């Protein structure tokens, strides 16, 4: 199976980055795009995010070998339903959603009989919209494929090869496991950032403008994450509810243990944890998994 035409539905950060990455790294593949928002379609045309930007999802997916849904996870079902009647029978349908169980269920329900291979490129920034995309977003990043049991192996390999062309590394995972892992590595960190920035802002009366004044330190890193798209993240928490609540329970227990250590003056417990976490950060940097694009969306 080879991919000659990719249809991208949703032309924000992820959809736009896929379009630009195909142009830069797989120029033999044609791209077509659609976004529900006319202003996004206009900007996508201006930036040339895909070769063609269509006025309907149905027009965009015509003759496509691969369709990638790049919409918020809460909009996946509706976006899939819009292409159900016109989807070429041999086309692979995939997505980039940050949670996988609910998306797999929604796509299977909306597209009975279609070849559906959900995926999640673990790459992004706090930016969103058609101006945010860039061609190197996926370089050296993991793309996790979560094929359903009994999925066509050739289709899985075709999708994996597509993502490798864009620079990604491939992992295959069960959707339930994906959602648990990402709950702790991505979803809860975002929830913590939203919380700490929200709490500091609620305390503004006490801190009298100091939230902004002293935000050059660690707090500033939290504000970057807390600037992430509200619609996208609302949908992630509503659609990965079980895993997030389970991991949040575990996190709360660990936080309580730290609270106890501080209260009782147990410096060893604090020091041991902080040493372990420092080693993890250094390991990530050594593996070369840090910022793919230091001048974009990071480090400000
Ligand atoms: N932002 C990240 O860091 C990141 C990383 C990996 C995966 N993801 C996932 O990628 C997906 C897209 O996120 P993004 O950051 O590109 O968001 P974005 O807001 O930049 O883009 C989403 C686009 O989808 C469009 N859209 C919404 N409903 C639609 C519909 N029914 N049909 C057509 N278009 C529709 C919106 O108009 C918008 O332009 C989400 O599922 C998100 O969970 C995001
Ligand atoms: O770097 C960031 O700003 C991100 O939030 C990217 C990030 C992440 O948590 O790692 C966010 C959501 C995704 O589904 C994948 C990647």
pTM over 0.80: yes
**Shared domain check, 28 and 50:** yes
Residue pLDDT, tens place only, 25-71: 999 999 999 999 999 999 999 999 999 999 999 999 999 999 999 99
**Shared domain check, 133 and 182:** no
**Shared domain check, 254 and 157:** no
The pLDDT of residue 291 is 56
Write the DSSP assignment of 119-144 as a string of letters.
EEE----S--STTS--TTTTTT-EEE
**Shared domain check, 239 and 113:** no
- Which atom of ligand 2 is nearest the CA belonging to 98? 14
Dist. CA 35 → ligand 1 center (Å)? 10
Domain of 214, CATH number, reads 1.10.3660.10
| Domain that includes residue 97, residue range | 5-173
Mark which of 148, 173, 198 sits at the end of a domain.
Answer: 173
**Shared domain check, 203 and 60:** no
Q: How far apart are CA 189 and CA 277, in angstroms?
A: 14
List, in sequence order, every beta strand (DSSP E) within the chain: 5-9, 30-34, 52-53, 66-69, 92-95, 115-116, 119-121, 142-145, 169-172
**Shared domain check, 116 and 230:** no
Measured from the alpha carbon of residue 235, the closest ligand is 1
**Shared domain check, 214 and 156:** no
**Shared domain check, 203 and 151:** no
- Which atom of ligand 2 is nearest the CA belonging to 126? 3
pLDDT lower than 50: segments of the chain: 292-300
Domain of 157, CATH number, reads 3.40.50.720
Contacts of 150 (CB under 8 A, 6+ apart): none
In a domain, 256, yes or no: yes
**Shared domain check, 73 and 22:** yes
Pocket of ligand 2 (CB under 6 A): 98, 122-126, 186, 228
Ligand 2 pocket test: pick from 182, 186, 290 the residue with the most ligand atoms within 8 Å of its Cβ: 186
The pLDDT of residue 297 is 39
Write the DSSP assignment of 229-240 as a string of letters.
-HHHHHHHHHHS
Dist. CA 232 → ligand 1 center (Å)? 7
Number of C-alpha atoms within 13 angstroms, CB side, residue 295? 0
In a domain, 133, yes or no: yes
Question: HEC string of 250-280?
Answer: HHHHHHHHHHHHHHCCCHHHHHHHHHHHHHH
ipTM tops the 0.95 cut: yes
The pLDDT of residue 20 is 98
Q: Domain count of the chain?
A: 2
**Shared domain check, 239 and 187:** yes
The pLDDT of residue 214 is 77
Dist. CA 88 → ligand 2 center (Å)? 32
Dist. CA 12 → ligand 2 center (Å)? 14
- Which atom of ligand 2 is nearest the CA belonging to 123? 16
The pLDDT of residue 299 is 32
């Amino acid at each position: 199976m080879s991919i000659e035409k990719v249809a991208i539905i949703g032309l924000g950060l992820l959809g736009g980055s896929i379009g630009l990455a195909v142009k830069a790294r797989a120029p033999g593949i044609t791209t077509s795009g659609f976004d529900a928002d006319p202003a996004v379609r206009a900007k996508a045309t201006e930036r040339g995010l895909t070769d063609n930007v269509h006025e309907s999802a149905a027009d965009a997916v015509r003759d496509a070998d691969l369709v990638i849904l790049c919409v918020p996870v809460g909009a996946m079902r509706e976006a899939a339903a819009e292409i159900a009647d016109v989807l070429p029978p041999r086309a692979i349908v995939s997505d980039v959603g940050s949670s996988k169980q609910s998306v797999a269920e929604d796509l299977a329900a909306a597209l009975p009989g279609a070849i559906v291979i959900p995926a999640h490129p673990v790459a992004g920034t706090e930016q969103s919209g058609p101006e945010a995309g860039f061609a190197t977003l996926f370089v050296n990043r993991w793309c996790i494929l979560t094929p359903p049991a009994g999925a066509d192996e050739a289709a899985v390999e075709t999708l994996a090869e597509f993502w490798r062309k864009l620079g990604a590394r491939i992992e295959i995972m069960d959707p339930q496991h994906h959602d648990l892992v990402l709950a702790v590595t991505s979803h809860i960190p975002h929830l913590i950032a939203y919380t700490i920035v929200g709490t500091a802002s609620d305390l503004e009366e006490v801190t009298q403008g100091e939230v902004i004044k002293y935000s050059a330190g660690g707090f500033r890193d939290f504000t970057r994450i807390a600037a992430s798209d509200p619609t996208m993240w609302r949908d992630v928490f509503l659609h990965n509810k079980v895993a997030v609540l389970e991991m949040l329970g575990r996190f709360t227990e660990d936080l309580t243990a730290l609270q106890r250590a501080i209260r009782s003056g147990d410096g060893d417990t604090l020091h041991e944890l902080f040493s372990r976490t420092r080693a993890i950060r250094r390991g990530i940097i050594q593996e070369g998994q840090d910022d793919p694009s230091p001048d974009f969306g990071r480090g400000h």
